[in-house]
Structure 1
């Protein structure tokens, strides 16, 4: 059982890895910040570097996520020059030279939630789910409504699913400033997520 502090530290470290080791370098080379879920981790859509388990993986090697982001990037043959420049104001604000560590069990919990979310989102929508670096959430947009899962953030430290209309809705279903959210414990399966997303879709139409 992973305690809350260990989980939050690992989630934050993995969020920073997504920004500094995948999205940032990919954006500077290919103009995209999008990432996608793969077996046991996540990877850039154009940048062949992934976080798999508690490791950084690239075509020529693999190394434990530990130390500093600058050191890891150097081992993989590139530089951690920071997050994507000028695209968003959110993010970790992590210094590439700040030391960190990742707990394997906590990392597995993050990856597992993304995997469940990815499966549910692919069944729910035709659009491919995107893992975004600014808030480290996996989502699709359908009819000006965002549907997604998050491993947690500053305001909501535990994993959750959400439905976020671009235009705010009002009613009992909408229990968060951005729309509606459910804790992972309430929608822990693909079927549970699908039910939540479909209900959110219907409520977004009815409450418009």
Structure 2
């Protein structure tokens, strides 16, 4: 697949919703109940927990010690049961989320999952270069990877109602005006348009300058 191509949008959205559900209900919720944190991290091929239980999503698969489960016409309840955790979000911490329950059927397409994973990997590398010593976090509420510095959010979203595909964003806590600020929350550009880590970093650096 060429970097300029986009998967069928319906497939991309369906896959993103599936991955978001797994991130929230199978990784972050059980991690919160076991280890007291909802923070997830970008990992090679996808994303992972930071503490027990040791779980990772690689492409369109859930990986646990000694197990690899396909995210193909399954449910978060079934996945959680297979890896020995209880499916469910971290209770009482936020209002939004994936919008799916443990028994809802999910399915992730490998090509679309790779596109989303690459967004996280590229974003993580760019954020660490922008802010050396930063610890980018994937938050399960909105399933975005981000850091905050001086009242400005920097990150990568796997897509949402604003833009269906993975995009980099800069979001000042106080609204700015000007050509760069093209989104209701600040600025956003599709990751595929930025050409890799250097392009995403340049986008972040421009936003940092303009945010003042």
TM-score interval for Structure 1 and Structure 2 normalised by the shorter chain: over 0.9
Count how many residue pairs are aligned between Structure 1 and Structure 2.
Answer: 204
CA distance in 2, matches of 1:83, 1:18: 9
Asked if residue 85 in structure 1 is aligned to residue 91 in structure 2, the reply is: yes
1:18-71 CA-partner distances (Å, limit 9, x unpaired): 000101111112221101111112111113111112111112322111311101
Superposed counterparts of 1:12-27, under 5 Å: 12-27=17-32
CA root-mean-square deviation: 1.2
Residue 108 of structure 2 is matched in structure 1 by: 102
Asked if residue 144 in structure 1 is aligned to residue 162 in structure 2, the reply is: no
**Structure 2 unmatched runs, 5+:** 2-6
User: If the length of structure 1 is used for normalisation, what is the TM-score?
Assistant: 0.94
Which secondary structure state, in structure 1, belongs to the residue aligned with residue 206 of structure 2? helix
The alpha-carbon deviation at position 184 of structure 1 amounts to 2.0
Residue 164 of structure 1 is matched in structure 2 by: 171
Which secondary structure state, in structure 1, belongs to the residue aligned with residue 169 of structure 2? strand
**Structure 1 unmatched runs, 5+:** none
Asked if residue 112 in structure 1 is aligned to residue 118 in structure 2, the reply is: yes
1:95-147 CA-partner distances (Å, limit 9, x unpaired): 11111211111111111111111111111112111111111111111111110
User: If the length of structure 2 is used for normalisation, what is the TM-score?
Assistant: 0.92
Q: Which has the higher contact order (CA 8 A, sep 6+)?
A: 2
Residue 4 of structure 2 is matched in structure 1 by: none
Residue 174 of structure 1 is matched in structure 2 by: 181
The alpha-carbon deviation at position 188 of structure 1 amounts to 2.9
